[in-house]
Chain A
Amino acid sequence: MTDELVIAGKSYGSRLLVGTGKYKDFKETRAAIDASGAEIVTVAIRRTNIGQHADEPSLLEFLPPEEFTYLPNTAGCYTADDAVRTLRLARELLDGHQLVKLEVLGDPNTLYPNVVETIAAAKTLVKDGFDVMVYTSDDPIIAKQLEDVGCCAVMPLASLIGSGMGILNPWNLQIIIENANVPVLVDAGVGTASDAAIAMELGCAGILMNTAIAGAQDPVLMASAMKKGVEAGREAFLAGRMAKKLYSASPSSPTSGMID
């Protein structure tokens, strides 16, 4: 059975998207990403090292753009203008690459998104030809508005970035998924493999995570666990779970043929 994730017209075998930050070194980054099976990896755009550190190895040497789909992000941007500027630089950096992750933050402590600035940036970017995967709150109305302005995927938080608190409002996620005509991916908040499975069981098209893997005691092993969590949750969603009931007078073993 082929069950591919389609984003902006391109198919992906893996429904797990991963960040590349917070690892011990690039070797660990690469090993964890290999274990995760991810095909889409996020990167940040920052001032390049010049002067004495100019010869340092770069992330791109460990994760060649030919092997992975890069998803440049706007982490650290607090205004629509900054986010748009960052992604235009990313497009130049990555030779015209159009698939991007938009996030506009509203508060440096919680990293909660500023949805007003996010919608403004999304409009500009879509008009400018970008394929925008957008990080947002779990507000169903905002999620729909982001879809309506032309985002190719909507990515509500499960809980706050880097918190590892898991899926705090499955009901909102369910409403967002039910109303959406574009893929809905959970971005942020997943802490462990069961969280990933729960998100997928709700019907999410995929999950984007970074800290849950990089912040584990053994990131490579956790990356493997997340791969399985996402796959298990997806299969359970497709299989359709049994109905929940308080009790059932229908045991799994035959009631006839009992010995006297």
Chain B
Amino acid sequence: MQLSVNGNSKSFEAAHMTVADLVSELKIVGKRIAVECNGEIIPKSQYAETQLNDGDSLEVVGAVGGG
């Protein structure tokens, strides 16, 4: 399936993926992140049950240094 992640188009072999699968594919399991799918925040508690669809646009954010 094809997803947009942080503005980059990415292809994944799997035909069905959850947000939890994506986090695992991106090798950021356990990192403190927040995920937005098509403008909607996906709570951490719902990663495993939230199915992604081809063409979904995701934002994966973290905390960085700032003033």
Q: Residues on B close to A: CB < 8 A? A: 5-7, 26-28, 31-36, 39, 41, 43-44, 59-67
Judged by a CB distance under 8 angstroms, whether A75 is at the interface is yes
Given contacts A54-B27, A92-B41, A93-B33, contact A46 B67 (CB under 8 A): no
A59 touches B63 (CB 8 A): yes
Any B CB within 8 A of the CB of A36: no
B66 contacts which chain A residues (CB < 8 A)?
19-21, 42-44, 46, 73, 75, 210
Chain A: residues with Cβ within 8 Å of the partner, total of 39
Tell me whether chain A's interface is mostly helix, strand or loop, or mixed.
mixed
A-B contact count (CB 8 A): 106
30 A-B pairs with CB atoms under 8 Å apart are A19-B65, A19-B67, A20-B65, A22-B67, A42-B67, A43-B65, A44-B65, A44-B67, A46-B64, A47-B6, A48-B33, A48-B61, A50-B28, A50-B60, A54-B31, A58-B62, A59-B64, A60-B63, A73-B66, A85-B36, A85-B39, A89-B41, A89-B59, A89-B61, A90-B34, A90-B63, A94-B32, A161-B67, A210-B66, A210-B67
A116 at the B interface (CB under 8 A): no
- B65 in complex: contacting residue of A22, A51, A54, A72, CB < 8 Å: A22
Report the bound CA distance from A190 to B31 in whole Å. Answer: 34
